[in-house]
Amino acid sequence: MAKRCTVCQKSYASQANFCAVCGRPLVTQGLSSSSRNVRLFLTVVISALVTYAVFAAARTPLVVESRFFDLPSAKASAVYNLLKPRDVKVVVQKDGDRVRITGTRRECDAIADFVNLIARFRGQSPCSIEQNMARARKTWSARQTYRMPGPKSKALFDALAPDDVPVLVSWKGKRLRIDANPSDQATLEHFVQILRGRRL
């Protein structure tokens, strides 16, 4: 870095300490504006890299798992159609009547609860289903209206509308109104969060 004499204003190389003309001590010249800009830029870049490294090291990695659900054909298709949009964070695959879900443990639990809801009376006779539905109607004390894009709202309606699903559902455009018991309503609230593209 160049040095300068404050009396005679003569410049010297960085190794010199005294002015050859007047013998006064030399003063280091300030950085040029371009040098200051380069230093500032490097400081910002290094700070950003250090911050990124700290957050990357502290962030907990996302742990996912896979679960398989064997369902009647129509219900397997309904679950697949609900979870296949790109903005839904879980990964869904379908092989015949078997659906494979890959997501976090909480997401897989929420989907398992939903599957158990729509397939609750699987394998029962029509008479038994009718009796169980009559009992279920007496517990529908929780009403909730969900707003979602039309196709998702319609797909969820299609999954919940069959006579063997123990909820009462009505659909209009982006609005889906569901009457259910409080436990099933909580299941639906978690499932709707997944459909909205949020992670659990």
Q: What is the DSSP string of 101-146?
A: EEE-HHHHHHHHHHHHHHTTTTT--HHHHHHHHHHHHTT--EEEEE
> Which of 38-47, 70-79, 86-95, 152-161 is the least confident region?
38-47
Domain count, the chain: 2
**What pLDDT does residue 99 have?**
95
Determine the Cα–Cα distance for residues 92 and 69; give it in Å rounded to an integer.
11
pLDDT tens digits, one per residue of 86-101: 999 999 999 999 999 9
Residue 49's domain comprises 3-58
Q: Average pLDDT for residues 73-85, to the nearest whole number?
A: 93
Higher local confidence (pLDDT), 56 or 180: 180
- 119 within some domain: yes
What's the rounded Cα separation, in Å, for the pair 127 and 139? 19
Q: Is residue 200 part of a domain?
A: no
In degrees and rounded to multiples of 5, residue 17 shows phi and psi of -120, -25
Q: Is residue 161 part of a domain?
A: yes
Is residue 85 located within the same domain as residue 53? no
Is 157 a domain residue? yes
**pLDDT band (50, 70, 90) for residue 47:** confident
pLDDT of residue 1: 61
Asked whether the whole model's pTM tops 0.75, one would answer: no
Q: Both 183 and 99 in a single domain?
A: yes
Tell me the per-residue pLDDT of 103-159, one tens digit each, with 9 for 90 and over. 999 999 999 999 999 999 999 999 999 999 999 999 999 999 999 998 899 999 999
